[in-house]
Structure 1
Amino acid sequence: MAWSDKARQLKGHLSQVNWYLYTGLLFLLTVLLTIVWAGLKLNVLLNDADALPIDAVAIKGERIYTTDAEIQAALQALMQRSFFSADVVEVQLALEALPWVHHASVRREWPAKLKVTLQEQQAVAHWNGDDWLNVHGDVFIAQSHESIAALPMLSGPEDMSSEVLTSYQQLADLLSINGFKLASLSLSPRHAWHATLDNGILLELGREDKMSRIQRFINVYPEITKNDKPIATIDLRYDTGVAVGWDDTNTESRH
């Protein structure tokens, strides 16, 4: 076979290979474009609130202070999104921003529902006047309700709310088993404790040994009340004994 014939055969073979290659590349490109187009269409569909709206929001959990109207207002903007584009974390944060909501969990339920479980704050005390403490000693801000207006009054440095609550619970338990009720407890900036009983008596506890000083008050109280005078304050900051301030004379006596 002449060299020219071999060259023509090789050229033809190469042309056939190139044709297969071009055809394969074109097919691959078509497939990729189809996938991209389908992905874009799917993305549009999934984000179309008219095509895939959120039909319902199911709220679970005991609620006392959080109203349906508050929940609807908090979620109004977020509900304009589609079922798939709605961000459950944003929904959770929006609900937890409500004054009386402590925790919210949110999950999707096919085909078009959001299921929400709410846990409300459990207020156990007033804090520094207008705020509240929950059972964990965390401070939160919310409107007052008649049902919790009588909770104890606690106050102190903002970063010591948990310690003040713990101390209140300890002192209140000790007083309660001995027939007294602790109405308020405060911690001064200098870390001195002041307790007020529900009968109005102020107990000065100082900075140390507050539990032993409360026990001393319990021990000496029967002797103090023999005087039959209204008591304003009892100062327990002494190593031994107490100083009593009488309500009618503003004078003190040592016991």
Structure 2
Amino acid sequence: MDARRYLRHSNRDELRKSLRADKNAAPKKQNSRREQEERKQRFLLWGHRVAVALKFLVAGTVLGGLMLSLPVLREWLDRPVAKVEVSGNFRYLNQDTLQEELEPYLRERFFSVDLRGIQQVLEDDSWIANVRVKKIWPDRVEVALEEEVPVARWQEKELISADGKVLRSRQGRSFSELPLLGAPEGREQEIMQQYMTLSQQLRLLGLRVEAVSLTPSGNWSFRVKGVAVQLGVDELIERMQRFTQLYYNRLQTRWAEVGSIDLRYRDGVAVAWIQKSAQGSGQKNSGG
């Protein structure tokens, strides 16, 4: 065997040995990487567990501190009520009187104030239309009121609002300027609606309703400028139209002579005229 063939043969043997060595080394390198990855995962897991343990430790410490300080904290937050403020546009109600009624609630602490109780006390007053109550930390209660507005006198002893709510008469106040309404009990809203309708119609004639009455039998009547007008039970719209025409065409200039008017006739009107005697006494004379 010459030298070149020997070298080729030798190199071939070395190449085979090298390939076998590489094949044997590859699994070792893979095993080494796997071991490194496993060590890394174990380290991360251990770090996560330590972090969770620390979080629980801190949370427990904070919670324990809060539990120890809770009575002091609650005492600081739940202060005694220092003031109950009552606000609103007071025309008939007395603000000082209302605050006196709410005085017992000043003995309460902020969290235990009975807002519903305050509202109930105020709503029991018929002159209060609406109540809003709220707490303002640290020690204040605010009460906002809306008053009822009387529209007319009711049965000569009480008053009535626009929605038919009966109001107790208030001492020391005169409501003689308000019209007088009268009807059977339970028909307050009905007569208030009728009063509103009549007022709107007569306002166009320059007349102001002084009284409206509804009898138990259902007869309606009203009074304007001292004159009583009988409407009857039904056909009220047609009868009011008849009154409007009569007033505009004939009665407006002679109203001082009119004693009363009866519209309960189907096709006519009865007018009672005031006839002055020589002595100046007033008498009524019926005419149509």
Please indicate the TM-score interval, normalised by the length of the shorter structure.
Answer: 0.7 to 0.9
TM-score by length of 2: 0.66
Aligned CA RMSD, in angstroms, stands at: 2.6
Q: Specify which of 96, 118, 140 is matched with residue 145 of structure 2.
A: 118
Larger Cα-atom Rg = 2
Aligned to 1:252: 286
Check if 1:68 corresponds to 2:102: no
Three-state SS of the structure 1 residue aligned to 2:221 is strand
Contact 1:132–1:139 (Cα < 8 Å) also in 2: yes
Distance 1:85 1:225 in 2: 66
Could you tell me how far 1:126 is from its partner in structure 2? 1.0
Size of the alignment, in residue pairs?
Answer: 210
Contact 1:171–1:211 (Cα < 8 Å) also in 2: no
Three-state SS of the structure 2 residue aligned to 1:124 is strand
Seen in structure 2, the aligned counterparts of structure 1 residues 144 and 251 have a Cα distance that, compared at 3 Å, is farther
Could you tell me how far 1:101 is from its partner in structure 2? 1.7
Equivalence map 1:50-199=2 (5 Å): 52-143=79-170, 148-197=175-224, 199=225
Three-state SS of the structure 1 residue aligned to 2:177 is coil
Identity across the alignment (%) = 28
Three-state SS of the structure 2 residue aligned to 1:170 is helix
Check if 1:214 corresponds to 2:236: no
Distance 1:69 1:229 in 2: 48
Could you tell me how far 1:148 is from its partner in structure 2? 4.4
Instruction: In structure 2, give the amino acid aligned to 1:202.
Output: A
Distance 2:264 2:231 in 1: 6
Distance 1:104 1:158 in 2: 27
Could you tell me how far 1:64 is from its partner in structure 2? 1.4
Q: Which has the higher helix share?
A: 2
Seen in structure 2, the aligned counterparts of structure 1 residues 82 and 229 have a Cα distance that, compared at 3 Å, is closer
Seen in structure 2, the aligned counterparts of structure 1 residues 228 and 218 have a Cα distance that, compared at 3 Å, is closer
Distance 1:66 1:240 in 2: 50
Distance 2:233 2:200 in 1: 20
Could you tell me how far 1:58 is from its partner in structure 2? 2.2
TM-score by length of 1: 0.74
Contact 2:82–2:106 (Cα < 8 Å) also in 1: no
Contact 1:128–1:155 (Cα < 8 Å) also in 2: yes
Three-state SS of the structure 1 residue aligned to 2:187 is helix
Distance 2:81 2:253 in 1: 71
Distance 2:238 2:164 in 1: 24
Aligned to 1:7: none
Instruction: In structure 2, give the amino acid aligned to 1:158.
Output: E
Structure 2: which 5+ residue stretches go unaligned? 1-66, 275-281
Instruction: In structure 2, give the amino acid aligned to 1:93.
Output: Q
Could you tell me how far 1:225 is from its partner in structure 2? 6.1
Distance 2:255 2:93 in 1: 49
Contact 2:260–2:271 (Cα < 8 Å) also in 1: yes
Structure 1: which 5+ residue stretches go unaligned? 1-37
Q: What is the CA deviation profile of residues 166-210 of structure 1, one whole-angstrom value per residue up to 9, with x for unaligned ones?
A: 11111111111122221110111111101000x211000001122
Distance 2:112 2:192 in 1: 42
